[in-house]
Amino acid sequence: MTPMPSGVRIEATLEQLASVNFNADGLVAAVAQDVTTGEVLMVAWMNAETLRMTLGEGRMVYWSRSRQELWRKGDTSGDFQFVREAYYDCDGDTLLFLVDQQGSGACHTGAFSCFSRRFGGDSGPSDAPTAGS
């Protein structure tokens, strides 16, 4: 029997958490990248609470600016993102999560990545980014 997929709970140090620079709205940008393919899946926002939940639960929890509420990725779609590794950038205003993307993908359009539209040439769903593959 295949075990239920789950995420890695990450114990960040206080020093690491203090390096995160939230903007004037209390938010930090979060990039989700597929740990297997390297595809950039989506970019959304976290506040201090959803960052804490994401690290503590091993599942991506975002803050929806449009709905002004927390957004547990996959709760309605089933397309969970389980955390494998988490990074913060040199000026602390962007986070990078390597995730195990469940279900059909990250995008509400049904595409695996939200970045399925390409500038120039054709821009169909088969035209996904090809880095590192």
Query: Smallest gap, in angstroms, from Cβ of residue 90 to its own copies?
Result: 5
d(CA 113, CA 133): 15
Tokens matching residue 69? 């509420």
Rule CB under 8 A: choose which of 22, 37, 56, 70 binds its own copies: 37
Neighbours of 51 (CB within 10 A): 23
Q: Is 48 a residue that touches its own copies (CB under 8 A)?
A: no
**Please, which residue, 35 or 70, has the CB nearer to its own copies?**
35
Rule CB under 8 A: choose which of 46, 55, 60, 61 binds its own copies: 55
Rule CB under 8 A: choose which of 3, 5, 78, 120 binds its own copies: 120
Three-state SS for 78-98 is CCCEEEEEEEECCCCCEEEEE
Q: Is 129 a residue that touches its own copies (CB under 8 A)?
A: yes
In single-letter form, the type of residue at position 106 comes to A
**Please, which residue, 53 or 86, has the CB nearer to its own copies?**
86
Location of structure tokens 């590192």: 132
**Could you give phi then psi for residue 93, rounded to 5 degrees?**
-105, 5
Q: Is 80 a residue that touches its own copies (CB under 8 A)?
A: no
d(CA 116, CA 126): 8
Interface positions with its own copies (CB under 8 A) = 10-13, 16, 19, 29, 31, 33-40, 42-43, 55, 85-91, 94, 96, 98, 107-109, 111, 114-120, 123, 129-133
